[in-house]
Chains A and B, each alone.
Chain A
Amino acid sequence: MSVTATIRIQEADFDVAREIAALTKGRTDVGAVVSFSGVCRGDENGEPIAALTLEHYPGMAEAEIGRHAGEAAARWPLTGLTVIHRVGRIAPGENIVLVVAASQHRQAAFHAAEFLMDYLKANAPFWKREEGRKGANWIEARDHDDAAAARWTKS
């Protein structure tokens, strides 16, 4: 791959503006930066939740995101790529995940960011548990997340 992706899995929150600035600072070859932030909603299927707890598979999570970041960098001409995924307890309104893709032109940046998010949701080993009124429950995977990832498979 032509760029080195920054991949972090952490309990701490992240600063979206700082992560975007890190991909453009001191360079004049970047024409487009797309960022996606996943944020914790205050409800799940219409039921209010107090918080989410994110569990992950240390080692594999980094490896899996790294493989997809490498594929994104091979498919689109990127100048920078950052993926941050939080783990642990996350309250409604807080950040969960960030993908930032930078390129000379917007199309590559849009596509790479969307590709990475679709793959992350379906293939990266993270699991969400919600704390609701009736106790804690593991959130079920959604079929449309698998379908979203599958549409990027080259025919």
Chain B
Amino acid sequence: MKVKYFAWVRERIGIPEETIEPPAEVRTVSDLIGWLSSRGEGYAYAFETPKVIRAAIDHAHVRPDAAIMGAREIAFFPPMTGG
């Protein structure tokens, strides 16, 4: 699946997007945040406070307990500040 990062999540990780293949036990958005956090310093920094991280699956907002199975694109970003 493709993962995209925006704003300071993108800056901390250092890349705007990547393709990942998490293991089968990574079932939810929250699991994925945990798995990504273990991939390096930048990831750990980006996800150091998981409760502020927002996520979207295939362009729709989801909660941390949402299942990631079948997702084409998952995005992680800070709370939105548009408008």
A→B interface (CB under 8 Å): 38, 54-57, 59-60, 63-64, 85, 96-97, 117, 120-129, 138-141, 145
By beta carbon, the residue of chain B nearest A38 is: B83
Is the pair A97, B7 in contact by a Cβ cutoff of 8 Å? Answer: no
CB contact under 8 A between A125 and B80, given known A59-B59, A60-B56, A63-B59: yes
Chain A interface, >50% SS class? mixed
Q: Which residues of B contact A60 (CB under 8 A)?
A: 56, 59-60, 75
B71 to chain A, nearest CB (A): 13
A58 to chain B, nearest CB (A): 10
Residue B70 interfacial (CB < 8 Å):
no
Is the pair A126, B8 in contact by a Cβ cutoff of 8 Å? Answer: no
CB contact under 8 A between A127 and B78, given known A55-B7, A57-B6, A138-B8: yes
Task: Give 10 pairs: A residue, B residue, CB < 8 Å, sorted on A.
Answer: A57-B75, A60-B60, A121-B80, A121-B82, A123-B61, A125-B56, A125-B80, A129-B7, A138-B7, A138-B78
Is the pair B81, A128 in contact by a Cβ cutoff of 8 Å? Answer: yes
Residue B23 interfacial (CB < 8 Å):
no
Once the chains are docked, how many angstroms separate the CA of A57 from the CA of B60? 11
Once the chains are docked, how many angstroms separate the CA of A141 from the CA of B60? 19
B8 to chain A, nearest CB (A): 5
